[in-house]
Amino acid sequence: MADLNNNLKKLQEIAANPKQQLDYYLAEGKQVIGCFPIYTPEVIADAAGIVPLGMWGAQTEFTLAKQYLVPFACPIMQSCMEMGLSGAYKGVKAVMIPTMCDTLRCITQDFKIGVKDIVTIPFTLTQNRGLKAAEEYLTEEFRYVKETIEEVYQVSVTEEAMQASIEVYNAHNKEMRTFAELANKHLDLITPSVRHDVFKSAWFMTKAEHLEVVREINQSLAEFPEAAFDGKRVILTGITAEPQAFLKILEDNHIAVVGDDLAHEMRQYRTDIPEGENALVRLVRQWADRVDPMAHDDEIRRVDLLKKLADEKKAQAVLVCLMKFCDPEEYEYVAYSKELKAMGYPVLSIDIDQQPDTYDQARTRIQTLAEML
């Protein structure tokens, strides 16, 4: 139990202190690259020995960012812009930014102009993913990212190194899926906050380092007998389940998270990088295989995904962590919430923001839901 608690505590501390983790890597003499949400080709940087660090903003007031972004822009992007302008990313040489939504398209230019000491590496993730032309186009986009990283960081990214990095990333994906399964057998230990921190910490460590810790956590959990849980069980979907105030409300109402489709958490680990001889093409095909509201599909596939999750995990409701002003998430919400409700699943939407909030209204609504279940 001591080893488990120590490992969980380690990841919780890293999740709570990303700036400290950045400073740690810089003090170790390592180079760092920032990764805006979501699906940046981290493998390319990792293969060169560069640490990919997630950029998900923080709970902060927006003052400097207002000079560049409208008030109804995505709060994560506003927060990242605020932190970039205030110098919080000092030491990061470059950032990778996928142009997946309107705000991300804007931030490629805003960040480039406003944060001049950090190189901006924008790239486009294709939407017509089934086309051969789309695969060829995105392969060239990733080649551009690779060549820019080599130039900025003065490194060489070899095919052999990328293939080796892919194996680490796939192993990490598998271990995170295992953690999600084992966590459901120990809901007394793996509370919503703890579960979240295990996922969140992965954004601020090399995948090899995170893999090692999570593997030890899984080994410890597998040795314990399954614990009974008499509370409520929910599925989360959306971008992120932050801030901690939201997760604390779930815990106060004896609600456990038994599965999620969050961009910040399990969504990224569902799809492995497929086999292949060319590393960049393998990364492209992983993108083509993903189920994500940021990726165009003729049908909204999240309905089936959430239904399957709810059935398998015996969830009693779906909580939607709806990031304010996130157009892709809001667009899909109308359709999938209607279908899930028609199937008999209670659906509750909670607005998520990156500016300080007491979440009193959310507390009342979640408490009411818990009493109804």
Structural domains present in the chain: 1-20+158-229 (1.20.1270.370), 31-157 (3.40.50.11890), 231-373 (3.40.50.11900)
Q: What's the pLDDT score for residue 301?
A: 81
- Read off the pLDDT of residues 268-281 as tens digits, 9 standing for 90 and up: 999 999 999 999 99
Query: DSSP secondary structure string, 216-264?
Result: HHHHHHHHSPPPP--SEEEEEEES---SHHHHHHHHHTTEEEEEEEETT
- Read off the pLDDT of residues 167-178 as tens digits, 9 standing for 90 and up: 999 999 999 999
Q: What's the pLDDT score for residue 291?
A: 83
H/E element, 313 = helix 302-313
- This prediction has a pTM of 0.95
- Read off the pLDDT of residues 343-369 as tens digits, 9 standing for 90 and up: 999 999 999 887 766 678 889 999 999
257 contact partners, CB below 8 Å, separation of at least 6: 192, 195, 196, 234, 235, 236, 241, 250
Average pLDDT over residues 68-97: 94
Q: Is the peptide bond before 243 cis (omega within 30 degrees of 0)?
A: yes
The number of C-alpha atoms within 13 Å of 18 and in the hemisphere containing its C-beta is 26
